[in-house]
């Protein structure tokens, strides 16, 4: 078991993290269709969460992340979402070619893409693997 706050391994039976003193709460694993956090190793999430967050900023970080942590499932989960988001953004951009209706779709879609990007970054930093609305169910990169 690992500390929720700093990622240090907490010896079995201990109630507090030996590094930062955070109480060792056992995370209730509520099975949910959109929350896949439980399927990733806590150690993996703690190690790769910053890289995972960076993947939402720029494609370059996806390549760097894959080179540094090719075996991380948590990383691949977020790489998949950031790629789906990129596709979503491109589709919204293409919609904007069509006058009026396309412009509306393009603007609404771009705002949604920005909100989803922020959500993805927050999830990654919080070591969560929660599907984003609308785009969350699509898979480009397999993370199983």
Query: Which residues contact Zn ion (rule: CB under 5 A)?
Result: 3, 5-6, 8, 17, 19-20, 22
How far apart are CB 67 and Zn ion at their closest, in Å? Answer: 29
Residue that has been written with the tokens 């951009």 in this structure: 93
How far apart are CB 112 and Zn ion at their closest, in Å? Answer: 35
Nearer to Zn ion, 6 or 94 (CB): 6
Nearer to Zn ion, 6 or 50 (CB): 6
How far apart are CB 24 and Zn ion at their closest, in Å? Answer: 9
Give phi and psi for 62, each to the nearest 5.
-65, -45
Nearer to Zn ion, 24 or 64 (CB): 24
Rounded distance, CA 76 to CA 79, Å?
Answer: 5
Q: Which distant-in-sequence residues (6+ apart) come within 8 Å of 78 by Cβ?
A: 52, 53, 55, 56, 120, 123, 124, 129
Q: Which distant-in-sequence residues (6+ apart) come within 8 Å of 131 by Cβ?
A: 33, 34, 35, 36, 81, 137
How far apart are CB 20 and Zn ion at their closest, in Å? Answer: 3
Nearer to Zn ion, 9 or 110 (CB): 9
Residue that has been written with the tokens 């995972």 in this structure: 52
Nearer to Zn ion, 27 or 137 (CB): 27
How far apart are CB 121 and Zn ion at their closest, in Å? Answer: 22
Rounded distance, CA 110 to CA 59, Å?
Answer: 18
């Amino acid at each position: 078991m690992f500390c929720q706050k700093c990622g240090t391994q907490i010896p079995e039976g201990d109630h507090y993290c030996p590094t930062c003193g955070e109480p060792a709460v056992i995370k209730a694993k509520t099975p949910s269709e959109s929350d896949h956090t439980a399927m990733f190793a806590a150690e993996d999430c703690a190690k790769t969460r910053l890289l995972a967050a960076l993947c939402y900023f720029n494609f370059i970080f996806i390549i760097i992340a894959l080179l540094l942590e090719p075996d991380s499932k948590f990383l691949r989960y977020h790489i998949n979402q950031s790629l789906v988001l990129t596709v979503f953004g491109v589709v919204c951009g293409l919609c904007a070619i069509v006058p009026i209706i396309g412009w509306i779709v393009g603007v609404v879609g771009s705002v949604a893409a920005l909100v989803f990007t922020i959500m993805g970054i927050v999830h990654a930093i919080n070591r969560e693997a929660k599907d984003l609305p609308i785009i969350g169910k699509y898979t480009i990169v397999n993370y199983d």
